Amino acid sequence: MWFQTWLAWRCVWNRTGYGVYGELAPGTAVHEPGMAPDVSEKPVFPVILSVAGFDPGAGAGLQADLLTGAALGTHVCTAVTSLTVQDSAQVHSVQVLDPSYTRAQMDVLMADFPVAAVKVGMLGSAAMGRMLARFLECHPGIPVVLDPILRSGGGQLLSGPDLVETLLLELLPRVQVLTPNAPEILSLSGAGDVDQAAAMLAGYGAEWVLVSGGHGEGVDLDNRLYRHGVLEERFVQKRLPGVFHGSGCTLSTAIAAGLAQGRMVPEAVNGALDFTARAVAHARSLGRGQFFLDRCAFLSGDA
């Protein structure tokens, strides 16, 4: 029953323009039952372009982005960078697509949809990263959130030194928010601690860097938001036991949703962390490996 209830709620959202907090989106027309809507009236429904990999288990990658975006009142278009063979425990193999094919997907979507934010996930190759950098050069006014996926949740390596170099030299200057976890930012920078790493990445052009604390130790998660290498804010959350599939994808897409809805970066980050924490708190054991997040918990208002 929960899915039918959620679907009905989403249909109401789509038809009326009411957001997840119940407010009427500016510019949204409300039509009486039985009246045909004026097709010239376009409801405010932000569009995100997700550039990421395909997860057949639907716990991470493009599928996680779709679920996250829908729960937060946005529409997510998807451009596939890679196909994977994976389950809830590990990635068995990865097939990276030809970058020109991914670029073709992105170009037709950009020509058709009013994309308000871009979320970047798994790239898989330096060639894909270089293509993305050229694409972003053509669309400089759109906020970009980059989740620098270097390894899978099960620990499998998903990148090489050439991709890391491309991320640093070509992509960071074109990204508004970078969302590494602690191991990722240390690997990207070669620094000895997170503060030093954030300062080093600022030298490559990273404006905002959110270092998520999910891969650390201790009772609390220490999520740190930096701007131009300077610590702006810390968001402390309770650490929950377990290993969770797609939490980084969820967090970065939720930030992109906030930016697409016109929020400033600190507000978007705060909301995204809250959304992700709720999804993790209600995660389910669906397979034999990691827990899968319940992104619908945000809609039901569960704490």
Kindly indicate the confidence band of residue 297, based on its pLDDT and cuts at 50, 70 and 90. confident
> How many residues in the chain?
303
pLDDT digits (tens, 9 = 90+) for 274-288: 999 999 999 999 989
Look at residue 37 and tell me whether its pLDDT is greater than 50.
no
Mean pLDDT over residues 138-149, rounded? Answer: 95
183 has a pLDDT exceeding 60: yes
Q: Report the range of poorest mean pLDDT among 64-68, 102-106, 141-145, 234-238.
A: 234-238
Least confident of 74-78, 167-171, 207-211, 220-224: 220-224
pTM confidence score:
0.84
pLDDT number for residue 28: 42
pLDDT at 124 over 60: yes
Shared-domain flag, residues 77 and 35: no
68 with 13, same domain?
Answer: no
Confidence of residue 260 (pLDDT cuts 50, 70, 90): very high
Give me the DSSP letters along 134-188.
HHHHT-TTS-EEE----B-TT--B---HHHHHHIIIIIGGG-SEE--BHHHHHHH
Residues 6+ apart with CB under 8 A from 54: 61, 62, 63, 80, 82, 83, 84
pLDDT band at 199 (very low <50, low <70, confident <90, very high): very high
DSSP for 207-230, written as a single string? -EEEEB-TTS-SSEEEEEEEETTE
Taking only the tens place, the pLDDT of each residue in 239-257 is 888 888 889 999 999 999 9
CATH number of the domain that residue 62 is part of:
3.40.1190.20
Residues 5-17 have a mean pLDDT of 41
Of 291 and 38, the one with more pLDDT: 291
Whether residue 107 is found in the same domain as residue 215: yes
For the segment 159-176, what is each residue's pLDDT rounded down to a tens digit? 667 899 999 999 999 999
Question: Is 195 buried (19+), middle (13-18) or exposed (0-12) by CB count in 10 A?
Answer: middle
Looking at the structure of the chain, the number of domains it has is 2
Backbone angles phi, psi at 73, to 5 degrees: 80, 30
Q: Which domain holds residue 32?
A: 1-45
For residue 131 the two structure tokens come to: 């293509």
One domain, residues 16 and 54: no
pLDDT value of position 299: 73
If asked whether residues 37 and 57 sit together in one domain, one would say no
Residue 35 sits in the same domain as residue 64: no
Q: How confident is the model at residue 4 (pLDDT cuts 50, 70, 90)?
A: very low
pLDDT of 29 over the 50 cut? no
The mean pLDDT of 3-26, rounded to a whole number, is: 41
Indicate the helix (H) or strand (E) that contains 274. Answer: helix 265-281
Rg of the chain in Å (alpha carbons): 19
Are 41 and 51 in a shared domain? no
Under a CB-based contact definition with an 8 Å cutoff, are residues 13 and 19 in contact? Answer: yes
Cβ neighbors of 91 (< 8 A, separation 6 or more) are 84, 85, 152, 154, 156, 158
Average pLDDT over the chain reads 85
Highest mean pLDDT (candidates 39-43, 139-143, 159-163, 294-298): 139-143
- Both 155 and 169 in one domain: the answer is yes
Handedness of CA 16, 19, 22, 27 (dihedral sign): negative
pLDDT at 214: 66
**If you average pLDDT over residues 210-216, what whole number do you get?**
80
Residue at token pair 């809609």? 299
The reply to whether 5 and 151 lie within a common domain is no
Shared domain for 210 and 277, answered yes or no, is: yes
14 and 70 together in one domain? no
Same domain, 7 and 67: no
